[in-house]
A and B are shown apart, each in its own frame.
Chain A
Amino acid sequence: MYFNSIQYIFFLPLVVILFYLTPFRIRWLLLLATSYYFYMCWKPELIIIIIFSTLINYLTALMLDRDQEKKKKRFYLIASLVINLGMLIFFKYLGFLVEAIQDIFDYNVRDQVSPAMYFIAPIGISYYTLQSLGYILDVYYGKRKAEKHPGIFALYVAFFPIILSGPIERSTRLLPQLRNSAQIRLNSVNIEEGIKLIIWGYFLKLVIADRTGIYVDAVFGNLSRHGGITYAATIVLYSFQIYSDFAGYSSIAIGSARLMGFDILRNFNRPYFSATVGEFWTRWHISLSGWLRDYVFNPLAFMFVRLFESRTSFRTTFFTYSLTTFLTFFLCGFWHGARWTFLVWGCIHGIYLILEHLFRRNGKRRILNILLTYIMILFTWIFFRSLSMHDAFHIIKVIFTHPGSLYIPFDSDVVAPVYAVLGILILLLTEIKQEFFNNLFSFTSNKNEYVRMIAYGLVVFLILYLGVFDGSQFMYFKF
C-alpha cells in the first residue's frame, strides 16, 4: 500500500477513527494489527521476517537487562548485531541485484517482477533494522531498560506510518509514546496538524517529485543524447525530486502518526538552506544522520581516541575525527545500496566535512555560503542518481565540455517540467519565507481558521491540478 494510493486514503482515516473508538488499553493491539495488515499488503510472506527480527531483538534486550556481566552482555550484543546486520546485508545484496536489473530495463517494473524475486527485497528492512538496533544499543549502554511488553515492542518495530521509509525513531522517544497510547485524547490541534502535514506531503510528492521525475528519467534514460546544459538542469531538477519525494513521504508519515497524537522525529529542515555541508547533515534525513552520529560515529571515535591514549593534541583529535567521519559516511553511502555511485556519494560527503573543518568559511556571508553548499551537494547528486561511475563521469565531463541546448520534450511530456518548475517555485517561496521571514504573516499557522482553510484548500487545488496520479513509487523505498 503506497501512501499515494486510493487504499491509503481509505485506510488511514479508518484506522484513525478506530484508534479513537477502541478501548484505550488495547489501542496498541489495534495499531499492531493494522500495522501488520499494512505491511502485508506488500507481500504477506514478508511479515515473517519482521516477526523473526522482532522476536530476536525482544529476547536479546531482555537478556541484556537480566545479565549484567560484561562478557555476557557483549556476547548478546554481538550475536544480535550479526543476526540483524546479517539479514540486512543478505537481503540488500539480493535486493540490489533485482533493483539493478529493473533499472536497466525499465524504471517501474516492480509489479511485473516475479513474486519470488520481489520476496528477496523486504521493503522497509533498512529502516526497521536500524530502529531495532538503536533499541538494542540503548539497552546495552544502559540508556533505557528492555521493553517487557512484547506487543508494544512489536508495534515499535512495525508501526505503519514509519516502517516503510522512516523517519527512524529512537526507543527513548517512541516506546514511551506507544506505551502511553491509552492516554491520548482526540484533539483538534493534532488532527489539523496531521492533515496539514499530509496535504503538504502529497503536494511535495505528487506535484514536485513525480513531475520532475518524468523529465529526469527521460534524460537519464537516454544519456548519450544530451548536452551539458540539459544535464545541469536535470541535476538541479533531481535535487528537488529526491528532496520532495523523501520529504513528502516523511511528511505524510509524520502527519499520519500525528493524527493519532504521536510525535515522530522531523526528518527534513529545509536542507538546501544550509551554509555548510556539516549543517546540511543536520537538516537532511535527520533521523538517519542522527542515528549514524549516535550509534556509529561516537562509539567509533572514542574507540580510536582510546587507541591514541597519550596524545590528546588537536591534530590527533582531528585525525580521529577525519577517519571516523570518512568511515561513517562510507557506511551511509553503503546503507543506500551496494552500488559504487552510492559509496562515492557517501565518501565525497565525508571529504567535504573533513575539508570544512580544515578550512572554515567566512560565516558572515550566509547567502553565498548557501549557494556554494547547494552546488557542492548538486555535484554529489550526480553520483547518487547515476547507475554507474561511467555515467557519472560522462555527465560531469559533458557539463564542462559540451553545453549543447536545453532538452525540451515536444510531446505531452512538456507539461511535466513546466508543472515541476511551478511546484518548485512554490516550494522555494514557502521555504524562503519560513527560513528568513517566519515572523511575518503566516497562512497555515494563522490564528484565523478561515485563512488556514483557504491555504489548505489552495494546496489541495494545486495537487489536483498539477499532480501526477498514476500511483508511482516513493524513491526511498529502494533503500
Chain B
Amino acid sequence: MNSSETFIQLTNIFKNVLRNPGLDLRRDSDINNTPGWDSFNHIRIILAIEKHFGVKFTTSEIQSWNNVGDLTDTLEKKLV
C-alpha cells in the first residue's frame, strides 16, 4: 500500500467517524482545527484506524502525535 492510498483510507475513516463526507483532511489537521473532532471521536477514530489497518498503537505513540501527519508517519512505519 503506497503512501497516498494509506492517506485516502485514513481520510475515509475520519469521514466515517465524524460523519462528514466532505471533510478535507490534511497532514496538519488536528483536534483543534477539524470540526467534529472532539475527545470522544478521538478515541473512536484511533480504534477505527487500528481495526481497519490491523495495527496497535501504544499510548506513547498516540501521545507523541501533533497532527494527522504524525499519525500517518507512525501508521506507515507499522504497515511496512
A278 within 8 A of B: yes
Q: Which residues of B contact A302 (CB under 8 A)?
A: 43, 46, 59, 62
Q: When the two chains form their complex, are residues A320 and B63 in contact, meaning their CB atoms are under 8 A apart?
A: no
Q: When the two chains form their complex, are residues A278 and B38 in contact, meaning their CB atoms are under 8 A apart?
A: yes
Of A142, A172, A297, the residue contacting B39 (CB under 8 A) is: A297
Number of interface residues of A (CB under 8 A): 24
A404 within 8 A of B: no
CB distance from A294 to the nearest CB of B (A): 8
Q: When the two chains form their complex, are residues B40 and A321 in contact, meaning their CB atoms are under 8 A apart?
A: yes
Q: When the two chains form their complex, are residues B66 and A143 in contact, meaning their CB atoms are under 8 A apart?
A: yes
Q: When the two chains form their complex, are residues B64 and A298 in contact, meaning their CB atoms are under 8 A apart?
A: no
Known: A172-B66, A305-B47, A312-B47. A142 touches B60 (CB 8 A): yes
A301 within 8 A of B: yes
Known: A143-B64, A303-B59. A312 touches B51 (CB 8 A): yes
A24 within 8 A of B: no
Task: Output the residue of B51, B63, B66 with the most chain A CB within 10 A.
Answer: B63
* Bound complex: CA A305 to CA B44 (Å): 10
Q: Which residues of B contact A457 (CB under 8 A)?
A: none
Interface bits B36-68 vs A (CB < 8 Å: 1, else 0): 001110111011000100000001101110100
Q: Which residues of B contact A321 (CB under 8 A)?
A: 39-40, 43
* Bound complex: CA A278 to CA B40 (Å): 10
Of B31, B32, B47, B62, the residue contacting A317 (CB under 8 A) is: B47
Q: Which residues of B contact A297 (CB under 8 A)?
A: 39
CB distance from B46 to the nearest CB of A (A): 8
Interface of A is mostly: helix
Known: A141-B60, A142-B64, A299-B63. A357 touches B40 (CB 8 A): yes
Mark out the residues of chain A between 285 and 303 whose CB falls within 8 Å of any chain B CB in the assembled complex: 290, 293-294, 297-299, 301-303
Q: Which residues of A contact B51 (CB under 8 A)?
A: 312
A338 within 8 A of B: no
Q: Which residues of B contact A317 (CB under 8 A)?
A: 40, 43-44, 47
Q: When the two chains form their complex, are residues A298 and B66 in contact, meaning their CB atoms are under 8 A apart?
A: no
Q: When the two chains form their complex, are residues B63 and A301 in contact, meaning their CB atoms are under 8 A apart?
A: no
Interface bits A129-155 vs B (CB < 8 Å: 1, else 0): 000000001001111000000000000
CB distance from B70 to the nearest CB of A (A): 9
Q: When the two chains form their complex, are residues A293 and B64 in contact, meaning their CB atoms are under 8 A apart?
A: no
Q: When the two chains form their complex, are residues A141 and B64 in contact, meaning their CB atoms are under 8 A apart?
A: yes
A325 within 8 A of B: yes
Q: Which residues of B contact A290 (CB under 8 A)?
A: 32
Q: When the two chains form their complex, are residues A293 and B43 in contact, meaning their CB atoms are under 8 A apart?
A: no
Task: Output the residue of A140, A142, A302, A325 with the most chain B CB within 10 A.
Answer: A302
The chain A residue with its CB closest to the CB of B56 is A306
Q: When the two chains form their complex, are residues A325 and B64 in contact, meaning their CB atoms are under 8 A apart?
A: no
Q: Which residues of A contact B31 (CB under 8 A)?
A: 293
CB distance from B7 to the nearest CB of A (A): 22
Q: Which residues of A contact B66 (CB under 8 A)?
A: 143, 172
* Bound complex: CA A64 to CA B36 (Å): 35
CB distance from A111 to the nearest CB of B (A): 41
Known: A312-B51, A317-B44. A143 touches B63 (CB 8 A): yes
* Bound complex: CA A293 to CA B38 (Å): 10
Q: Which residues of B contact A325 (CB under 8 A)?
A: 39
Mark out the residues of chain A between 398 and 420 whose CB falls within 8 Å of any chain B CB in the assembled complex: none
* Bound complex: CA A314 to CA B47 (Å): 10
Q: When the two chains form their complex, are residues B42 and A298 in contact, meaning their CB atoms are under 8 A apart?
A: yes
Offer 30 A-B interface pairs, CB within 8 angstroms, sorted by A. A137-B63, A140-B60, A141-B60, A142-B60, A142-B64, A143-B63, A143-B64, A172-B66, A278-B38, A293-B31, A293-B39, A294-B63, A298-B39, A301-B39, A301-B42, A301-B43, A302-B43, A302-B46, A302-B59, A302-B62, A303-B59, A305-B47, A314-B44, A317-B43, A317-B44, A320-B43, A321-B39, A321-B43, A325-B39, A357-B40
| Residues of chain B having any CB pair with chain A under 8 Å | 31-32, 38-40, 42-44, 46-47, 51, 59-60, 62-64, 66
